[in-house]
Amino acid sequence: MLKVKDLKVRYGMIEAIKGISFEVDDSEIVTLIGANGAGKTTTMHTISGLIKAASGSIELDGRDITKLPAHKIVEMGIAQCPERRRVFAQQSVEDNLFLGAYTRKDKDEIRKDLENVYELFPRLKERSTQMAGTLSGGEQQMLAMGRALMAKPKIMLLDEPSMGLSPLLVREIFDIIKNINSQGVTILLVEQNAKMALSIANRAYVIETGRIVMSGTGEELLNSEDIKKAYLGG
């Protein structure tokens, strides 16, 4: 589905991504784990077209999307639930969800997907007219995920969905990610919470200062001594 090849990204003189390659296959959950500043968000932003690659390529189903503008990439089927949620604070929950479906024209289908999102996140339905800025952190995370789903993506990029949430809620969010995946949406997940991410991922890549240093199945990495030391707290 998604194929990243020799991707390099720079911020001015600084090379934040120093040539990474990875793949996400149809209906997989793939996770990128790595410490602060490793380049995870930069990678996600580059796939979504918010930042332009310095070199390398990104392909979706065999089509080169490296140079497409961000709004075209959404149309192609890549939706992102960004780091820190970035919901539109001054618009209602429901308007946020409809903005997620901005590129779509199939009104009836959009309605159906809205119901589906409300089923996945009943709390959003209760708060559909509330301003998004007044939601709790957990609710905002749900909204950001629901909003990304409204694009009816082939692949959904999730950047640190567990950030700042209570352990109980983190579990709930990861269950929902699995649920979304079982509905046929491919997932690329970025996480600091490596344990949780590895436990639901088919495959994983470890990224360190702009380079991929290890990869394998979720289980392999979960049991690797190096990973245990560096990311799973011993």
Partner 1 sequence: MTFLTYLISGLALGSVYAIIALGYTMVYGIAKMLNFAHGDIIMVGGYAAFFAFNKFGLSPVVSILASILVCTLLGVIIERLAYKPLRQASSLSVLITAIGVSYFLQNGSQLIFGSDTKIFPAMLMEGSLKLFDGRLMISYLTLFTIFTCVVIMTVLTLFINKTKIGKAMRACAEDKGAAQLMGINVDTTISITFAIGSGLAAVAAILLCSTYPSLSPTLGSMPGIKAFTAAVFGGIGSIPGALLGGLLLGIIENLTKAYISTQLSDAIVFTVLIIVLLIKPTGLLGKKENVKV
Ligand X SMILES: Nc1ncnc2c1ncn2[C@@H]1O[C@H](COP(=O)(O)OP(=O)(O)OP(=O)(O)O)[C@@H](O)[C@H]1O
- Binding residues for partner 1, rule: CB under 8 A, are 45, 48-50, 69-71, 74-75, 79-80, 82, 84, 86-91, 95, 98-100, 102-103, 147-148, 151
84 vs 228 by CB, closer to Mg ion: 84
Beta bridge partners of 214: 206
Nearest-approach distance from CB 164 to ligand X, in angstroms: 12
CA distance 40 to 16: 10
Q: For 132, which DSSP code? A: G
Report which of 154, 208, 185 is spatially closest to residue 36, judged by C-alpha positions. 208
Query: Between residue 24 and residue 63, which ones bind Mg ion under the rule CB under 5 A?
Result: 40-41
Using the contact rule CB under 6 A, the part of the chain among 29-37, 54-62, 94-102, 137-145 near ligand X is 29-37
Q: Are strands 29-33 and 186-191 parallel, antiparallel or unpaired?
A: parallel
Question: Hey, is 51 helix, strand or coil?
Answer: coil
Nearest-approach distance from CB 65 to partner 1, in angstroms: 14
33 vs 87 by CB, closer to partner 1: 87
Strand order through the sheet with 78-81 = 78-81, 155-159, 186-191, 29-33, 203-208, 211-217
Query: Between residue 169 and residue 228, which ones bind ligand X under the rule CB under 6 A?
Result: 192
Nearest-approach distance from CB 115 to ligand X, in angstroms: 33
Nearest-approach distance from CB 226 to partner 1, in angstroms: 32
The contact set with ligand X (CB under 6 A) reads 11, 14, 16, 34, 36-42, 83, 192
